């Protein structure tokens, strides 16, 4: 039987990258709601992200989005982050908000539009050099709304050509991670709708190209842990974007819709070596807080991932394998469920205290007065939001 003491050391290496945009204003398709204290600059986003790491010890990196987080001096931004105890992480490109990309970006039939999109990604690679970032993450809104609107095969050919040029621009220690989403904003077909399409493209590019799995980007009922197992088996799982969804959208707090699914996903990560020392798999949140407090929302998310990681590590894998080999259906299921139902929260609270962290990070943050201070200090100016 695996105990919490057996896994305590494994929890030390957990690191969950935070998205800068989670600290700005966002909303539904109908309204973006403002919140007092919302950051107005990339620096203020990083300062808020650093609070999450301060109280949890789980979030040492902050992902940035270009051009949302564009600055004149990236070296200074990097130093600012380092002074707050965090690093700049993944650089996310954006080819979904410019009018030029109405009918596609990297897949566009217009050479000038494709050139613009490729050049943007090359600019992002330059930002990576300045920030020390390892990963360039690409999510495309490219697709069509109607049958016959575009030639599906030609769009795939153009996508490969565009990605190849971007890939060739990577530095020796940099990676390209290609995200996928089964629909939206394109409703008939999406150019990168699933893990298989992403896998086909990154495999054609080379070893520095991998797939990014967003847990909210699947059709209802999809067995996401199977996809995790396959990509790990194939050596092409580069990163996660953790969030939750109920219907057709995503970006809710990870684990809020289906904690058991998050557990199953993380068990396959552990089983497949994605949590091993030196694993290439990067954990990141990708959330936009519409109605909940932003810093507390990120605190809740990283704690949810930590809790389900602990439960996944508690699975007695030797006993599980033995039951599986004996075709002991209910015995194998019971071993998995015993780990899932284990309440690790008191153990994690004690684990945090033993490392100089608050037992209850959310309560400690709320008592710190930081939220009240930024509400007063950030009065005026233009709040950052989705797209700014």
Q: State the average pLDDT over residues 362-379.
A: 97
Closest to 17 in 3D by CA, of 92, 70, 77? 92
pLDDT in tens, 320-346: 999 999 999 999 999 999 999 999 999
Q: State the average pLDDT over residues 149-170.
A: 98
DSSP 8-state class, residue 97: S
CATH architecture of 15-377: Alpha-Beta Barrel (3.20)
Q: State the average pLDDT over residues 66-94.
A: 98
**Does the bond joining 56 to the residue before it have cis omega, within 30 degrees of 0?**
no
Give the count of alpha carbons within 13 A of 249, CB side only.
11
Provide the 10 A C-beta neighbour count for residue 206: 12
13/275 Cα distance (integer angstroms): 9
pLDDT (0 to 100) of residue 251 = 85
Provide the 10 A C-beta neighbour count for residue 363: 11
295/326 Cα distance (integer angstroms): 47
DSSP run (H or E) holding 42: helix 42-56
DSSP run (H or E) holding 265: helix 259-271
pLDDT (0 to 100) of residue 28 = 65
Per-residue pLDDT for 249 more than 80? no
Report the chain's terminal Cα–Cα distance, integer Å. 50
**pTM for this entry:** 0.96
> Between the CA of residue 58 and those of 54, 109, 210, 300, what are the distances in Å?
8, 43, 24, 12
Where do the domains of the chain lie? 15-377
Per-residue pLDDT for 387 more than 80? no
Distance of CA 360 to the CA centre of its chain: 24
């Amino acid at each position: 039987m695996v105990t919490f003491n057996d896994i305590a050391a494994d929890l030390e290496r957990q690191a969950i990258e935070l998205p800068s945009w989670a600290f700005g204003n966002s909303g539904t398709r109908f309204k973006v709601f403002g919140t007092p204290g919302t950051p107005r600059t990339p620096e203020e986003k990083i300062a808020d992200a650093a609070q999450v790491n301060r109280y949890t010890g789980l979030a040492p990196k902050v992902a940035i989005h270009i051009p949302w987080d564009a600055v004149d001096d990236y070296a200074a931004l990097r130093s600012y982050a380092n002074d707050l105890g965090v690093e700049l992480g993944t650089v996310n490109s954006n080819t979904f908000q410019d009018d030029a990309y109405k009918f596609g970006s990297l897949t566009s039939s217009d050479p000038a539009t494709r050139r613009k999109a490729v050049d943007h990604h090359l600019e992002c690679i330059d930002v990576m050099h300045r920030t020390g970032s390892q990963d360039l993450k690409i999510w495309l809104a490219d697709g069509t709304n109607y049958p016959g609107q575009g030639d599906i095969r030609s769009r795939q050919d153009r996508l490969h050509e565009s990605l190849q040029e971007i890939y060739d621009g990577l530095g020796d220690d940099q990676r390209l991670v290609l995200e996928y989403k089964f629909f939206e904003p394109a409703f008939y077909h999406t150019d990168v709708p699933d893990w298989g399409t992403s896998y086909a493209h990154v495999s054609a590019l080379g070893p520095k190209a991998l797939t990014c799995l967003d847990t909210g980007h699947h059709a209802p009922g999809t067995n996401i842990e199977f996809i995790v197992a396959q990509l790990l088996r194939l050596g092409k799982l580069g990163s996660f974007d953790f969030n939750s969804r109920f219907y057709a959208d995503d970006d809710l707090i990870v684990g809020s819709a289906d904690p058991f699914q998050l557990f199953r996903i993380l068990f396959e990560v552990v089983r497949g070596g994605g949590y091993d020392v030196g694993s290439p798999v990067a954990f990141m949140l990708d959330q936009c807080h519409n109605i909940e407090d932003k810093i507390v929302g990120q605190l809740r998310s990283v704690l949810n991932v930590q809790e389900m990681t602990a439960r996944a590590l508690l699975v007695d894998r030797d006993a599980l394998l033995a039951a599986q080999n004996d075709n002991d259906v209910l015995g194998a299921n019971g071993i998995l469920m015993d780990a899932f139902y284990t309440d690790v929260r008191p153990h994690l609270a004690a684990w945090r205290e033993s490392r100089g962290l608050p037992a209850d990070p959310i309560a400690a943050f709320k008592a710190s007065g930081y939220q009240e201070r930024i509400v007063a200090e950030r009065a005026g100016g233009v709040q950052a939001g989705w797209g700014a």
